[in-house]
Structure 1
Amino acid sequence: MAGKTPETLRSRRWYGEGPGSTEHTSHALQAGYAREEFQGRPVIGIVNTWSDMNPCHAHLRDRAEAVKRGVWQAGGFPVELPAMSLGEGYVKPSAMLYRNFLAMETEELLRCHPIDGAILLGGCDKTTPGLLMGAISMDIPAIYCPAGFTMGATFRGERFGSGTGPFRYAPDLIAGRLPMEDWEAIEQKIWSSPGTCNVMGTASTMTALAEVLGMSLTGASSVPAMDSRGHQLGAAAGRRIVQMVWDDLKPSDIISDASVFNAAKACVALGGSTNAAIHLIALARRAGTSFTLDDFNDIGRQVPVLANVQPSGEYIMHEFADAGGLPALLTQMASKLDLDCATVTGATLGENIRGAKVGDANIVRPLDNPVATEALAVLKGNLAPNGCVIKPSAATAELLQHRGPAVVFNDADDLAARIHDPDLDVDANSVLVLRNVGPLGGPGMAENGMIPIPRKLAEQGIRDVVRISDARMSGTSFGTCALHISPESWIGGPLALVEDGDEIELDVAGRAITLCVEDAVLEQRRQAWQAPEPHYKRGWGMLFSDNVNQAHEGCDFDMLASREPTPEPPVHGKI
């Protein structure tokens, strides 16, 4: 691998010598920097997703300063580049609608500026894949630094997980058994400090996968947001990225088929979010690897759940971190990993985790004592020809083989209007079906897939029924929910043809999902189906709708997934 010299730095095209570089040099001088601070030094872009509208990232302003400290220490020149912050709590209709926006922004921020290497600051669900997708496509040296997770809490003496906590108590509120003042106490505890969800939701899943892919420093995904080690790791990443620039160590040197398969295996062992089935495929396609949804299914059969962390297990992220965190878990499953994969540290994955210790074998389990046998299954059938996903480890075992009549909701508004209607024709055997909430139908494939338990069932003490949709659900969610039905109903997928009372059979062991209606009847319905009007006729929404692919392909844009190189911008300074 050829290294860089000051003369071959990418930023040299901006910060060279002579009249052609005068404009760029003068603006650096205008900002108060002396020539010796930036000329001939690696310029490190810190892509920061801090925002007042994303309290999970409230501390990333300070984290960026720690990164800058490390960059300066190593002889680099740090510059901070704000990027769109995809806070799950506020962004509507869905942060997923804007994941590709952040990916494009990250790639183009790094391309159009004199950047030699990048530090990516994120954590909240879509920020991790968005930042990584952009950095992979740009393919300059990059390190991902996760925000870390929020504080832990208890309610009624029980561990309180962000997301899982309120989800577990919501049926009691709906049924009138939980006082509103108790619910308000739960709201106060959900996120009681900066940081992402403190369970194995999408945020902690994706930050762990970034580390296994080789794109983060060792142990970075197992540090709480407000722990001082977060800033220490930020400074260490700042120092390391400067050396990576000199070594010219890029994502294309790190991410491979083997590292993506490692990440998928780790996802399953963590009891990770079903959203990873979309994001990891998108990352793999950006990197030009062969990984598909079928590979995820095969891995789901091979690797058990080893992390005893909510929603698949009992504990929360602080306890997982204290028990050794991700490095310790990887040692437990080392026999299933390719330990020779490269990482941003310059060492292999195996070398990175050497010496990691398990602090609590009940939280970080060995292969012969798993929490559950399956964390992710891909189902196919006439209802999902291209597949859908379910999380058996967070489902009700008795419902994993089930046949029942459909109760159909046409979209999210219809669901909100009727789900708690006392006259809703539903019982414990019913299969709740929600459609037109996929990538195009949502729009943006919001986390509607954990359909609420109807009030009339919650009042009977029923806590789970089979639920099917072309939506996603939060990684903190649980229940017997078949998600990401592909192709989606908005484009005429089979889910669009389901009617109330149709029998639907779920067979997780057989990896099948079946609409028990004769083909001739389905064909009649297909002929009568009419395509809906587009949600958008201009702007980003239209660009998204015209280019997004389906869930089993990662919901990326094909034009972005290509590994065709994008030309470097011409740099013509004013004289």
Structure 2
Amino acid sequence: MSEDKRRRYSSPVVDGLGKSASRAMLRAVGFTDEDFKKPQVGIASTWSNLTPCNMHINGLAEEASRGADEAGGKSLIFNTITVSDGIANGTEGMKYSLVSREVIADSIETTAGCEGFDGLVAIGGCDKNMPGCLIGLARLNRPAVFVYGGTIQPGANHTDLISVFEAVGAHAKGDMDLIEVKQIEETAVPGPGSCGGMYTANTMASAIEAMGMSLPGSSAQNAVSDTKLADCRAAGAAVLNLLEKDIKPRDIMTRKAFENAITVVIALGGSTNAVLHLIAMANTAGVELTIDDFTEIGKRVPVLADLRPSGHYMMSELVAIGGIQPLMKTLVEAGLLHGDCLTVTGLTLGENLADVAPYPESQKIVHALKDPIKKDSHLRILRGNLAPDGAVAKITGKEGTYFTGKARVFHSEEEAQERIMDGTVVAGDVLVIRYEGPKGGPGMREMLTPTSAIMGKGLGKDVALITDGRFSGGSHGFVVGHITPEAAEGGPIALVETGDTITIDAEANTISLDVSDDILSSRRARWQPPKPRYTRGVLAKYARTVSSASKGAVTDDF
């Protein structure tokens, strides 16, 4: 590898004869004279033992480090933060979840920018790790590969973390005793890996592979497996190949690559969080992408995978039949994916898929194109007088496509949860949970606890929930989030009163409040913006800098 490619990023390790102090520091961490001549590869690890999603990533980082070293580089491992959405959901702590995406991106940029790494491997597990890593890699724009930490195994009786949330609702309804709830709690999360359905972690891992920023197969591997270890070693080596070919993230993260990511998310029945994260990633990569692109792509892409939360199967079962590569090959052959997009292998997506075998004929997880679960997208971008800048719904059709009911208004997730559990919320209600947006929360909490309680109480088809917050990938039912403008900015959702009629039409893609313009104007004249909930610290900084959800809730687009 030529000197100019190795030293492009002004690394204090290799630049100039006057860097003896830098070399002295690095000798203490194991560098030899030969190592100073090698390209440096930073390994960004999101390891932490506070969540099963990330508890094994230190071992994966070591494998990636080994792969980079064996390919002729010199690797250095550093950590970012991570938080656990599964632990924080339903609490004030969940306000830090989306914030963690920005902190992860900032930490990768900060460390790599300071140390001058020539290339990077980033390894993520829990939900915000993936987009956080990709935003950081796109900012730096140095040869890089993302590795997904992998999916968890199913719990006893085909359970997972969402089973625990829904068991609480079932207990409140009287359909499950406490012993059963405890049994599910004790067995649903059996070890390392991210939540086992097509929830946000598996959705984003799949999107990133479809985009070309992971090696083939990385998104559909069990967390504890020889294939995942091999994936990490190969990722470390792949960075050296990318350095040699001078291929950087923004060469891969093109408009067509984002279209591929959206297509695969839809085909898999993925999380609404993909809308938020892909727009944020595109913003950083300098690619124009809006919420309306999801509508346009969604008109031609069907839902094909019968995966949780709205379907039957888990990610580990999809892994067992070949992961997402046979699906992507089908989509390429049907003209629904751009096969000419560059990937981190140095080859195109189509070239990577050329020798992929089809799914076994006996499998029932991924439907054929001629027999879709839904003929168009489950991700619906809704507009109307309640969401003039857009809202995001996940409507599979199983919960219906049209809902009209009376608003029951809450100013926080906790308030709504109490009223669901005590029976105040009844069939025909449209729950309005507001002041939970990016600025108003701050942090745009996921409404997993109330949606799970609704499902557990058997109200999934009888109650709708709308919010300026967002949803976990594990949420299902008639739910609409990301309503913009948010309540804290005086959006129409701030003007809704209990008893108002709200109509959601997922065929026409509309969400409307049946209140006259004159009455809304009168309410607006009386409305006062709430005082900031936080005035110092990370949440205060976030609330002051974050963009709207319809623009990805980014914090550096000034």
TM-score bracket relative to the smaller structure: over 0.9
Deviation by residue 1:313-358 (Cα, 9 ceiling, x = unmatched): 2111111111221101111211211100000001100111122221
Cα displacement (A) at 1:126: 0.3
Q: Is the 8 A contact 2:192 2:224 kept in 1?
A: yes
Q: CA deviation at 1:60?
A: 0.8
Q: Does 1:162 align with 2:161?
A: yes
CA distance in 1, matches of 2:256, 2:456: 45
Distance 1:481 1:460, change over 3 A: closer
- Indicate how the Cα distance of structure 1 residues 380 and 459 shifts in structure 2: closer, same or farther if over 3 A, else same: closer
> 1:58 maps to what in 2?
55
Superposed displacement of residue 369, structure 1: 1.1
The 8 Å contact of residues 4 and 245 in structure 1, kept in 2 or not, is answered as no
Deviations 1:372-417 (Å, cap 9, x if unpaired)?
23321111000000111111117512xx212211111121232244
The C-alpha deviation readout for 1:358-379, integer Å capped at 9, x for no partner, is 1254212221111223321111
1:396 aligned partner: 399
Q: 1:522 to 1:450 in 2, by over 3 A?
A: farther
C-alpha separation in 2, matches of 1:510 and 1:194: 42
**CA 1:557 to 1:126, structure 2 compared with 1: closer, same or farther past 3 Å?**
same
Distance 1:290 1:372, change over 3 A: same
- Counterparts of 1:292-371 in structure 2, within 5 Å, are 292-334=290-332, 335-356=335-356, 357-359=358-360, 360-371=362-373
**Cα 1:394–1:276 shift into 2, 3 Å:** farther
- What residue in structure 2 maps to residue 410 of structure 1? 411
**1:454 CA displacement:** 7.4
Q: Amino acid of the residue matched to residue 535 of structure 2?
A: K
Deviation at 1:419, TM superposition (A): 3.1
SS at match of 1:79: strand
Aligned residue in 2 for 1:497: 495
Q: Report the counterpart of residue 253 of structure 2 in structure 1.
A: 255
2:283 is matched with which residue? 285
Q: Percent identity?
A: 35
- Counterpart Cα distance in 1 of 2:85 and 2:460: 28
**Secondary structure class of the residue paired with 2:408:** strand
Assess, with a 3 A threshold, how the Cα gap between structure 1 residues 119 and 153 changes in structure 2: closer, same or farther.
Answer: same
Specify the code of the residue in structure 2 equivalent to 1:438.
G
2:36 to 27, 35, 39: 39
Q: Per the alignment, in what secondary structure is the counterpart of residue 405 of structure 2?
A: strand
Aligned-partner residue type, residue 386 of structure 2? L
Distance in 1 separating the partners of 2:490 and 2:338: 41
SS in 1 for 2:450: coil
TM-score (norm 1): 0.91
**Do the aligned partners of 2:461 and 2:478 also contact (CA within 8 Å) in 1?**
no
1:438 and 2:437 aligned: yes
Structure 1 residues 437, 428: CA separation in 2 closer, same or farther (over 3 Å shift)?
same
Residue 179 to residue 514, structure 1, CA distance change in 2 (3 Å): same
Alignment of 1:399-548 (within 5 A): 400-422=401-423, 424=424, 426-448=425-447, 451-452=450-451, 464-548=462-546
Aligned length: 548
1:266 alignment partner in structure 2: 264
Q: CA deviation at 1:29?
A: 1.5
Report how far residue 188 of structure 1 moved.
Answer: 2.0
Q: Is the 8 A contact 1:449 1:468 kept in 2?
A: no
Q: Is the 8 A contact 2:271 2:472 kept in 1?
A: yes
CA spacing shift, 1:83–1:394, aligned 2, 3 Å? farther
Identify if the C-alpha distance between structure 1 residues 534 and 303 changes in structure 2 by more than 3 Å, giving closer, same or farther. same
The secondary structure found in structure 2 opposite 1:44 is strand
Give 3-state SS (helix, strand or coil) of 1:81's partner. strand
Partner of 2:139: 137
Amino acid of the residue matched to residue 26 of structure 1?
A: A
Match of 1:569 in 2: none
Residue in structure 1 matching 2:378, options 370, 375, 392: 375
Question: Aligned in 2, Cα 1:314/1:59: closer, same or farther, shift over 3 Å?
Answer: same
Stretch of structure 1 that moved more, 7-16 or 357-366: 7-16
How many angstroms apart in 2 are the aligned matches of 1:136 and 1:284?
Answer: 9
1:189 Cα shift? Answer: 2.5
2:71 aligned residue: 74
Query: What is the distance in 2 between the residues matched to 1:28 and 1:481?
Result: 52
Amino acid paired to 2:506: V
> What does residue 220 of structure 1 align with?
218
CA distance in 2, matches of 1:258, 1:7: 27
Q: Distance in 2 between matches of 1:47 and 1:458?
A: 39
What is the DSSP-based 3-state SS (H/G/I as helix, E as strand, rest coil) of the residue aligned with 1:496?
Answer: helix
| 1:385 alignment counterpart | 388
More moved, 357-366 vs 198-207: 357-366
1:499-523 CA distance string (max 9 Å, x none): 0100001111011000000001001
For normalisation by structure 2, the TM-score amounts to: 0.94
Q: CA 1:500–1:96 in structure 2 vs 1: closer, same or farther (change >3 Å)?
A: same
3-state SS in 2 of match to 1:93: helix
Once the two structures are superposed, residues 510-538 of structure 1 have per-residue CA deviations (whole angstroms, 9 ceiling, x without a partner) of 11000000001001101100011112222
CA contact (8 A) 1:6 1:41 kept: no
Deviation, 1:32, is 3.1
Per mean C-alpha deviation after superposition, the further-off stretch among 76-85 and 403-412 is 403-412
| SS of the residue 1:119 aligns to | strand
Structure 2: how far apart are the matches of 1:317 and 1:454? 23
Three-state SS of the structure 1 residue aligned to 2:78 is strand
Matched to 2:414, the amino acid is: D
Whether the aligned pair in 2 keeps the contact of 1:45 and 1:78 (CA below 8 Å) is yes
Residues 1:16 and 1:473: Cα distance change in structure 2 (over 3 Å): closer
Answer yes or no: is the 8 Å Cα contact 2:446–2:470 preserved in 1: yes
Unaligned runs of 5+ in 1: 561-575
Instruction: Within 5 Å, give how 1:176-195 maps onto structure 2.
Output: 176-195=174-193
The verdict on how the C-alpha distance between 1:375 and 1:450 changes in structure 2, with shifts beyond 3 A counting, is farther
State the match for 2:81 in structure 1. Answer: 84
Q: Which one of 219, 229, 241 corresponds to residue 239 of structure 2?
A: 241
Question: What is aligned with 1:102?
Answer: 104
Distance in 1 (CA, whole Å) between partners of 2:231 and 2:5 is: 30
**C-alpha separation in 1, matches of 2:456 and 2:25:** 63
Q: 1:206 to 1:394 in 2, by over 3 A?
A: farther
CA shift in 2, pair 1:509/1:17, >3 Å: closer
Partner of 1:116: 118
Structure 2 unmatched runs, 5+ = none
- Which letter does structure 2 place at the counterpart of 1:500? T
CA distance in 1 between partners of 2:415 and 2:408 (Å): 12
RMSD (CA atoms) = 2.0
Contact 1:6-1:40 at 8 Å conserved across structures: no
Cα 1:119/1:461, change in 2 over 3 Å: closer
Q: For residues 46 and 388 of structure 1, do their structure 2 counterparts lie closer, same or farther at Cα, with a shift above 3 Å needed?
A: same
Counterpart code for 2:41: I
Structure 1 residues 487, 461: CA separation in 2 closer, same or farther (over 3 Å shift)? Answer: closer
CA distance in 1, matches of 2:38, 2:147: 22
* Cα offset, 1:449, TM superposition: 6.0
